[in-house]
A and B are shown apart, each in its own frame.
Chain A
Amino acid sequence: MRVTQSMVSANSLRNISSSFNKLNDLSNQVSSGKKITKPSDDPVVAMKGMFYRSNLSEVEQYQRNLSEGYLWMDNSEASLEQANEGLQRIRELLVKGKNDTNSEAERTAIAQEIEEIKKDLVTVANTKVNGKYAFHGTDISTPLVTDGDPPQVAANATDPSIDNYTVQVSSGINLKINVSPTAFSQEMFDVVQGIQEKMENNATDGLDDLLSRLDTVTNNLTTERSELGARYNRLELVETRLDSQEVLANKVLSDNEDVDMEKAITNLSVQESVHNAALSVAAKIIQTSLIDFLR
């Protein structure tokens, strides 16, 4: 084949520019840390990339939802603890007040203490988390209990449709984070009110009946508390799972589109020497022609 100067220079130029192009691609990879810059570089990587990104942002979001769950549960737990202590104290006072050794003045003192505990129970039942009533199910804008003698529990407290205040912890899975409004029942306040009134009136009849009703109410509260504890455990399990999912999602995303630096840098230096060779060869052969050797 006949080879001419213009062919040599055109071919050299083309090869140099294609080698420069590769150099550019590789340096892009190294500087951006990504295997691809546009979907057509590798459609599969691009599509997977979109999917993994959404996946990661979902996991991150569910983790955020969890903190809302923790906030509610921690607060509810503390409040239930306080309510429980109150009920225990009432029980002690009741047992103490039952004794005939108590004078009327002592019973009045007991009644006063119960009155304070009752008020405290109302406050606890109306605990607010982030400005929302924590024990009123989804009806977070109205208090569960209105103060009075006895305090009145809202009528919708037993409505199952407001029972579940939930957060989503993974696709399609909603976790209840509140304590059911039934934890603070009308019965609880009625019993407390009953005991208080007996003490005020210095009466001892029917106290055994009140004691057993008080125990039932306390049991109910304890059950709610242990259920809360169980759900708290579940929340922790979910958190552990989401943490490992996050690591995994990050890893998959990175495996999919992040460049292998050692490989990219090695390729880059290989390409660099190829490019230098191409330049130096082209510079040599383009310069010379027969004219250089004619005297």
Chain B
Amino acid sequence: MASTFMGLETAKRGLVAQQSALYTTGNNISNANTLGYTRQRVDLQQTTSYPSVGTNAPKIAGQIGTGVEATTVTRLREGFLDTQYRSENSKLGYWENRSSALSNLETIMNEPSDSGLSASMDSFWSSLQDFASDPQNAGARAVVRQRGIAVADTFNYLYKTVSAEKSNVENEIGVSEKAVNTILSQLDALNQQIAAVEPNGYLPNDLYDKRDSLLDDLSTYAKIKVSYESTGGNGLAQAEGKAIVSLVNDDGTEVAKLVDANGYNELNVNKNTAETAVASISVGGTTVDINNFDSTGKLKSIVESYGYQDSNGDIKGIYNDMLAELDNLAYTFATQFNAVHEAGMSPNEIAAGADSVISFFADSKSADGSITSRDGFASRITISDAITNSLDNIANASGTNLSSATLGDATVATALAEIINNKYDYGDNSEQATFRNYFEGVIGSMAVSAQEASKMFSNSTTLQQTVENKRMSVSSVSLDEEMTNMIQYQQAYNASARMISLTDELLDTIINGLRR
């Protein structure tokens, strides 16, 4: 025989359970727009039926249900989607950064246009042609000098702007390093908080959400692998435990542990001794050579933009490669131009009756202006002092026959113009190309990389969003659903309350109705 008051207890349990479900619904609605929030659900469970089995159990017809209890509040989340999301997010981080770096470079190079290097080279060529058709004209000479200065200035400008971009990226390395380390320290702190809560049988859903958000952020920088370690104690089965985060290469091999159960390891990007390129990456005590670091993500892209030391000790990188190409162009062009110019006869040399060595281009950093070093030459190319001092030092006549060298002889002036169209080994790799072809090649390969990066950026955005959509489908708050739940729980609450007043009426019947 069940207790007279059993109905009250069952209804009360209903009230309490529905109430907690309602409050959780309220919490879901409040957090509908909170970043990283995972919708929660109260797990309702029947309480043990009466009577339970035993030798002294009362014999009644069947077991009667005793109501409901709220066991846990759990997050609705799919761990597999998180892994997928983070892997896509790493790729997105890589391509986003790379495409923006290349896009910056494109803007700096400003080709094809009427104001880039090829345009200023075209103008220089035109001025040489004008000069060749009228070699005595001081005006034509002055234009050649000015356009020559413009070519040198364009090289200087491009070199300096690309270098400035490179040093911006250097700052970005520092910022990213700091951002990663902040995330790592936060992750560690959360791990410790979670370890303090879980053994008491609670699920710290808010801390889990924060940790998952941080892991998402971290995955932008590099590919990570997350595993969990139980915190022990009285923990529930659903308790996640401490997150152990490793930095992994694309093939899945672990590079280093970023966060483990006891703490976190700081990530540092180490430069080479000259401080011009990245040499290695270290996590805590582990140092990885940059050539063995193959973890797709923003960090890798920044390193590739800034420059890194490859296994031969050469410095590679988006900006460094462009700087080297500018050097190739400036150095080869200037030396070839000078060779022809030095062999030619200028009005001053004709007047003196002797062929002296007069260069047209010079190296602003060398003492005598001679061009000897290819490295960084694009930043130093300038017009030689001789040309700056006198327009009549610009050669026009052939120097092979001193007696017949005349002011109207345009052999060398024409040859100077031809240099732009002649093939030379610009890349220092035994491949012959004209200035224009070589530069077109440089711009072309940059454009192809930029195009690839921007396509991959848009691809990885789509992929990341697809996964994000799936994840939101599982975890995000639907207001319609919450409203429906609200009605459902509210009605159940109302009905439980009605049950109490019904029980009250029943008791009234017994207590007051049976008096006479």
Name, among B119, B137, B408, the residue most crowded by chain A CB atoms within 10 Å (CB to CB): B408
Q: Are B134 and A168 in contact (CB under 8 A)?
A: no
Q: Are B440 and A50 in contact (CB under 8 A)?
A: yes
Q: Are B443 and A47 in contact (CB under 8 A)?
A: yes
Q: Please report which residues of chain A, range 11-43, place their CB below 8 angstroms from some CB of chain B when the two chains form the complex.
A: 11, 14, 38-43
- One of B60-68, B101-109, B222-230, B249-257 at the interface: B101-109
Q: Are A4 and B112 in contact (CB under 8 A)?
A: no
Bound-state CA distance A140–B347 (Å) is 12
A interface footprint on B427-458 (CB within 8 Å = 1, 0 otherwise)? 00000000010011001101110110110000
Q: Is A68 an interface residue (CB 8 A)?
A: yes
Contacts of B487 in A (CB 8 A): 294
Q: Are B447 and A40 in contact (CB under 8 A)?
A: yes
B391 CB → nearest A CB, Å = 15
Bound-state CA distance A130–B480 (Å) is 89
B435 CB → nearest A CB, Å = 10
B407 and chain A: residue at smallest CB distance: A141
Q: Are B439 and A39 in contact (CB under 8 A)?
A: no
Contacts of A291 in B (CB 8 A): 479, 483
Interface bin, chain B: 35 or more
Q: Are A290 and B484 in contact (CB under 8 A)?
A: yes
B interface footprint on A140-152 (CB within 8 Å = 1, 0 otherwise)? 1100000000000
Q: Please report which residues of chain B, range 84-125, place their CB below 8 angstroms from some CB of chain A when the two chains form the complex.
A: 102-103, 106-107, 109, 111-112, 114, 118-119, 122-123, 125
A interface footprint on B54-93 (CB within 8 Å = 1, 0 otherwise)? 0000000000000000000000000000000000000000
- One of B16-24, B238-246, B470-478 at the interface: B470-478
Q: Are A4 and B414 in contact (CB under 8 A)?
A: no
With known contacts A4-B473, A290-B483, A64–B478 Cβ distance under 8 A: no
Q: Is B152 an interface residue (CB 8 A)?
A: no
With known contacts A47-B444, A166-B410, A167-B132, A156–B473 Cβ distance under 8 A: no
Name, among A6, A10, A68, A136, the residue most crowded by chain B CB atoms within 10 Å (CB to CB): A6
Q: Is B130 an interface residue (CB 8 A)?
A: yes
Q: Is B404 an interface residue (CB 8 A)?
A: yes
Contacts of A130 in B (CB 8 A): 134, 137
With known contacts A50-B436, A64-B129, A141–B136 Cβ distance under 8 A: yes
Contacts of A4 in B (CB 8 A): 472-473, 476-479, 481
Q: Is B312 an interface residue (CB 8 A)?
A: no
Bound-state CA distance A6–B481 (Å) is 13
Q: Is B267 an interface residue (CB 8 A)?
A: no
Q: Are B472 and A38 in contact (CB under 8 A)?
A: no
Q: Is A165 an interface residue (CB 8 A)?
A: yes
- One of A53-61, A202-210, A219-227, A236-244 at the interface: A53-61
Bound-state CA distance A103–B270 (Å) is 110
Contacts of B450 in A (CB 8 A): 38-40
Q: Are B133 and A40 in contact (CB under 8 A)?
A: no
Q: Are A168 and B447 in contact (CB under 8 A)?
A: no
Name, among A10, A65, A138, the residue most crowded by chain B CB atoms within 10 Å (CB to CB): A138
Bound-state CA distance A290–B477 (Å) is 14
A interface footprint on B19-36 (CB within 8 Å = 1, 0 otherwise)? 000000000000011000
Q: Please report which residues of chain B, range 373-394, place their CB below 8 angstroms from some CB of chain A when the two chains form the complex.
A: none
B415 CB → nearest A CB, Å = 11
Q: Are B106 and A50 in contact (CB under 8 A)?
A: no
Name, among B112, B126, B465, the residue most crowded by chain A CB atoms within 10 Å (CB to CB): B112
Q: Are B406 and A139 in contact (CB under 8 A)?
A: yes
Q: Is A212 an interface residue (CB 8 A)?
A: no
Q: Are B406 and A162 in contact (CB under 8 A)?
A: yes
Q: Is A263 an interface residue (CB 8 A)?
A: no
Q: Is B469 an interface residue (CB 8 A)?
A: yes
Q: Are A139 and B447 in contact (CB under 8 A)?
A: no
Q: Are B133 and A168 in contact (CB under 8 A)?
A: yes
Q: Is A137 an interface residue (CB 8 A)?
A: yes
Name A132's contact: one of B129, B136, B421 (CB within 8 Å): B136
With known contacts A50-B439, A50-B443, A53-B119, A65–B478 Cβ distance under 8 A: no
Beyond the given A46-B443, A141-B408, A172-B418, could you list 4 further A-B residue pairs with CB under 8 A, ordered by the A residue number?
Answer: A4-B472, A5-B477, A40-B103, A65-B132
A selection of 11 A-B contacts at a CB cut-off of 8 Å is A4-B478, A5-B480, A7-B469, A39-B111, A40-B450, A40-B451, A50-B112, A54-B122, A131-B136, A136-B408, A174-B414
